[in-house]
């Protein structure tokens, strides 16, 4: 027996996006959206995704919406200047991210306010499409820890797998095929951050919380892929970082910026070393 999902109301612009995104996901691939019951039916939630393709937000928006909630993505502020796209983002209540400026804190405040108002905020802590040659999560920015600690909402790891076969960021090839491509989007159980709350806020704590959350994303991706993930996180430039001292696993904007971190010791594995930004990213 199919249970009917009661959807959060999103208004005209959310409806317009749904009218485009749902058919797109069906046209581009066979899609599986799993674990939607792990999103709360109401109230705020911070959904933390890996990032392997520029089309991830299309599938992730449908996955969240299919679970009955309206996603609020943290997206590059320059998109607000694009005709039609900017109107859609404003109308759908998305959150502009200002990087490398004094307005960056404003992005985090807007996300905190959205969570406090009972919204679902979607974040990609890697800050860009991943550069790990094996497509495991990269060393993440600590803005996600700031959001998690500034609010008391569920922090839900979530993963994409297969979107890179539809659109490969590295080769820039777009290869949709409902018959040949399979995309999975899965939500995991909330990450327990109780041990971190109430501790003095410093760079080390932000790194520990970030690693704990991204460790949940990494392990969930290993389950979806049916593979054992690496303990360390890839860093642009070819290094792997083992994360904080208390959590196995983990670019940085600096310890004082809204997405900054404390840095860490380099690993040894080579990577692509390329840099760049995704349209949907984290402060």
Is 38 among the domain residues?
yes
Average pLDDT over every residue of 210-222 = 98
- DSSP at 74: E
| Residue pair 276/128 in contact by the 8 Å Cβ criterion | yes
Average pLDDT over every residue of 275-279 = 45
The enclosing domain of 115 has a CATH number of: 3.40.1130.10
> What DSSP line would sit under 155-219, residue for residue?
EEEEEEESHHHHEETTTTEE---TTT-EEEEEE-PPP--TTTTTS---HHHHHHHHHHHHHHHHH
* pLDDT higher than threshold 60 for residue 282: no
* pLDDT higher than threshold 80 for residue 156: yes
- What's residue 238's pLDDT? 63
> From the CB of residue 58, how many other CB atoms can be counted at a distance below 10 Å?
22
| Residue pair 12/91 in contact by the 8 Å Cβ criterion | yes
- What's residue 101's pLDDT? 58
Is 281 among the domain residues?
no
Q: In degrees rounded to 5, what are phi and psi of residue 15?
A: -65, -40
**Which residues, 6 or more positions from 145, have their beta carbon under 8 angstroms from its beta carbon?**
205, 206, 207, 208, 209, 210, 213
Among 61-65, 207-211, 235-239, which is the least confidently predicted range? 235-239
* pLDDT higher than threshold 70 for residue 252: no
Is 161 among the domain residues?
yes
Over the chain, what is the mean pLDDT? 84
pLDDT by residue (tens digit) across 43-55? 999 999 999 999 9
Structural domains of the chain, count: 1
Is 265 among the domain residues?
no
- What's residue 174's pLDDT? 93
| Residue 133: both structure tokens together | 């040659």
Is 178 among the domain residues?
yes
* pLDDT higher than threshold 50 for residue 110: yes
Q: pTM score, two decimals?
A: 0.83
- What's residue 80's pLDDT? 87
Is 246 among the domain residues?
no
* Host domain of residue 97: 11-241
**CA 197/CA 58 separation, integer angstroms:** 33
Average pLDDT over every residue of 95-124 = 87
| Residue 79: both structure tokens together | 């998109």
């Amino acid at each position: 027996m199919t249970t009917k999902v009661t959807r959060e109301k999103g208004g005209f612009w959310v409806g317009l996006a749904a009218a485009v995104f749902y058919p797109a996901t069906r046209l581009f691939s066979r899609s599986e959206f799993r674990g939607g019951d792990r999103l709360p039916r109401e109230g705020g939630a911070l959904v933390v995704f890996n990032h392997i393709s520029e089309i991830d937000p299309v599938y992730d928006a449908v996955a969240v919406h299919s679970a009955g909630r309206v996603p609020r993505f943290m997206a590059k502020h320059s998109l607000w200047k694009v005709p039609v796209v900017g109107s859609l983002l404003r109308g759908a209540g998305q959150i502009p991210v200002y990087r490398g400026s004094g307005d960056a804190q404003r992005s985090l405040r807007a996300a905190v306010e959205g969570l406090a108002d009972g919204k679902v905020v979607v974040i990609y802590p890697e800050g860009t499409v991943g550069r790990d040659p094996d497509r495991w999560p990269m060393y993440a920015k600590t803005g996600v820890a700031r959001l998690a600690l500034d609010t008391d909402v569920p922090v839900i790891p979530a993963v994409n797998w297969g979107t890179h076969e539809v659109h490969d960021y590295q080769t820039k090839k777009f290869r949709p095929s409902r018959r040949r491509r399979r995309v999975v989007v899965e939500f995991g159980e909330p990450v327990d951050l109780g041990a971190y709350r109430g501790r003095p806020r410093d760079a080390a704590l932000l790194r520990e919380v970030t690693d704990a959350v991204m460790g949940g994303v990494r392990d969930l991706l290993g389950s979806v892929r049916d593979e054992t993930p690496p303990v360390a996180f890839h860093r642009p430039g070819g290094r792997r970082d083992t994360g904080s001292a208390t959590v196995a696993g983990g670019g940085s904007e600096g310890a004082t910026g809204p997405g900054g971190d404390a840095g860490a010791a380099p690993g040894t594995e080579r990577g692509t070393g390329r840099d760049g930004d995704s349209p949907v990213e984290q402060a």
